[in-house]
Amino acid sequence: MFKLTFLFGFLAINLSDALQVITLDGAVEGASKTTYAGNTYYAFYSIPYAQPPTGSLRFQAPVAVQPWSGVHDATKEGNICYQVNVDSADENEDCLTLNVYTPKDPSQNSTKLPVLFYIHGGGFSWGSGQTKGATGGIEPGFFMDDNIVMVSVNYRLGPFGFFATGDSIIPGNAGLKDQTLALQWVQKNIEVFGGDPKKVTIFGESAGGASVGYHIVSPLSNGLFSGGIVASGTSLCPWAYQRNQTEITFKTASFIDSQFDTNRDSKALFTFLQTANAKDIDTASKKYSDWAQSYNDTGLNGVINGQLQQGFFYAPVVEPENTGAFITETPYEIFAGGTFNKVPILIGACADEGLISYNENLQWILSVYDSDHSILVPQNMHISDSATKQTVGDAIKNEYSPSDDMQYNLVSGIKYFTDHVFQRSLIRHAELQSKFTDVYFYKFSYSGQMGGNTNNVYPGTSNVTHVEEGNYIWQRANPTSFPQTDQLVHQRLMKIWINFITSYNPTPSADPVLQNVVWPTLKESSLKYVDITSNLTVSTDPLSTYSFWKGLYEKYGVEPFDTY
């Protein structure tokens, strides 16, 4: 027995323990799931939104999927996109799919629900929108309990998503264009799942947060979303932008065919790569990563220093003028000029993001900094004069460790990475956007068992590491298995997120759960924010060193900036 219902011009079929709907591309059948709270929801896994980006479509903007006949089985998760330095049996170029989760059977519910569109992180080189596995962990249950329709997306990563030749042959940003096409799919199809296309909030953590920042500045994304949540990463972060992508692209290709060590013919490269084996390209990216990290004598070209400071090897670029360009100006210039998509945002970071840098090599890296303070200077300040760079480097060292070498003061190094790689950029993004839209800033400072941080801990820090708040948002474990305070922090975080998704204000009205806090908007003249610990506290100046950094950029930085 099943029930046929026409809803919003689409067909929904209730099959008791499954749900079948007709999208503009064809029929999909999902599976019934249950949250820890006992609520039923429907999951539609691995719905294709684009044609497989192979052959002539490789490294190009995605092309919308062709309609299919029959019913697409969306009851189980499918492929993930190729990952850099991660080997998985599920890797495949045919990976441009999305997952849709709905808490209501749309055949039984005429009310359109707010939509959360989630973009995963992973340095633009690894990760997925899946619920399981080493690359996933995006369990939607808590959002289902609060009546939010949710979408998570796979997009091309590494060389497949971010090769660029500096011209129109391979213009770059294919991975971001994948996300844009998925957002267009949402606008066309989300109503059949009970979602409201006029109320879409995009949310990302780390490189996903940077992706949200890029959608805010891209004309291609205009009108596709109405709010954003930017967590632990923005398009202004130094690692989220690549200035040398042409050289990286050709050098990566040279690990497949050595002619590209010297051949800089974009058309020849494109023709070669279109017929190259996908696994060979994937392997070449791993070889490039190994080569780049051992290339310079100091060995500082690895993830902790080189990529976090200078840009991930495969990352967004400014494109030359071309049809369908994602951006043709730097993200900083777009924000500063006010020519971005003006939507309200919730933006913030964890208290000690820089704990991600804490490993067995940190002391050695800091010893290299001690030997040459100029290495501490952000590349995005564009300082070419060596004497000036040394002056700025000395100032940075003295700000963070005035009495000791940094190698003997690891807390200073962790704080340097927290401030320089994450928080400074996030605050500047918030400042620039606040001139035009409502901006709500947070700092997550609560260290609890539910956060799951057992590796990146160090005395003298808060032990709240990169994207730790995510463990309180995704249904990775039953909240009741954690201490009472953890459960309360989880409840508050979900309230904050749900309030913003539904009203674009994290505290739209007095709420005892949120301690009746009235969350102020951040302004450049008043850096108000909410500190999330075991309590919620309205504070000012989320980064104690921000005025120091801003002073350096104003005095020594060479504009125009690309990131900050």
Q: Could you give the CA distance from residue 34 to residue 63 in angstroms, rounded to a whole number?
A: 34
For the chain, how big is the Rg over CA atoms in Å? 23
Q: What is the mean pLDDT of the chain?
A: 94
Residue 487 burial (10 A CB sphere; 0-12, 13-18, 19+): middle
pLDDT higher at 365 or 273: 273
Supply the DSSP symbol for 59: T
Dihedral of CA 193/196/197/200: which sign?
negative
Spatial CA neighbour of 175 closest among 130, 231, 129, 138: 129
The model's confidence at residue 307, banded by pLDDT at 50, 70 and 90, is confident
Beta carbons within 10 angstroms of residue 286's beta carbon: 17
Q: Could you give the CA distance from residue 29 to residue 23 in angstroms, rounded to a whole number?
A: 11
pLDDT of residue 305: 56
| Confidence check: pLDDT of 161 > 90 | yes
pLDDT of residue 360: 83
- The model's pLDDT over 284-299, given as tens digits with 9 standing for 90+, comes to 999 999 888 775 544 4
With H, G, I as helix, E, B as strand and everything else as coil, classify residue 5. strand
pLDDT of residue 445: 98
| Confidence check: pLDDT of 405 > 50 | yes
Which residues fall within 8 angstroms of residue 452, CB to CB, at 6 or more apart?
468, 471, 476
Q: Could you give the CA distance from residue 242 to residue 264 in angstroms, rounded to a whole number?
A: 18
Q: Could you give the CA distance from residue 333 to residue 158 in angstroms, rounded to a whole number?
A: 25
Q: Could you give the CA distance from residue 426 to residue 231 in angstroms, rounded to a whole number?
A: 9
**pLDDT above 70 coverage of the chain, percent:** 95
Residue 321 burial (10 A CB sphere; 0-12, 13-18, 19+): exposed
pLDDT of residue 51: 99
Contact predicate 411/316, CB 8 Å: no
Give the pTM: 0.95
- The model's pLDDT over 437-496, given as tens digits with 9 standing for 90+, comes to 999 999 999 999 999 888 888 999 999 999 999 999 998 889 999 999 999 999 999 999
Q: Where are the alpha helices (DSSP H) in 218-305?
A: 245-254, 266-275, 278-295
Which residue in this structure is represented by tokens 């690309």?
562
Q: Position 461: which residue type? A: T
pLDDT of residue 6: 35
- The model's pLDDT over 83-99, given as tens digits with 9 standing for 90+, comes to 998 888 899 999 999 99
How open is the CA angle 554-328-381, to the nearest 5 degrees? 20
Which residues fall within 8 angstroms of residue 547, CB to CB, at 6 or more apart?
541
- The model's pLDDT over 336-381, given as tens digits with 9 standing for 90+, comes to 999 999 999 999 999 999 999 888 888 988 999 999 999 999 999 9
Q: Could you give the CA distance from residue 22 to residue 20 in angstroms, rounded to a whole number?
A: 7
Supply the DSSP symbol for 196: E
Q: Could you give the CA distance from residue 220 to residue 61 in angstroms, rounded to a whole number?
A: 12
Q: Could you give the CA distance from residue 119 to residue 177 in angstroms, rounded to a whole number?
A: 13
CA 125 to chain centre: 11
Find the mean pLDDT for residues 180-209: 98
3-state secondary structure 390-431: HHHHHHHHHHHCCCCCHHHCHHHHHHHHHHHHHHHHHHHHHH
Spatial CA neighbour of 414 closest among 349, 352, 351: 352
pLDDT of residue 293: 78
CA 335 to chain centre: 18
Which residues fall within 8 angstroms of residue 71, CB to CB, at 6 or more apart?
20, 26, 27, 28, 29
- The model's pLDDT over 10-63, given as tens digits with 9 standing for 90+, comes to 445 555 568 999 999 999 999 999 999 999 999 999 999 999 999 999 999 999
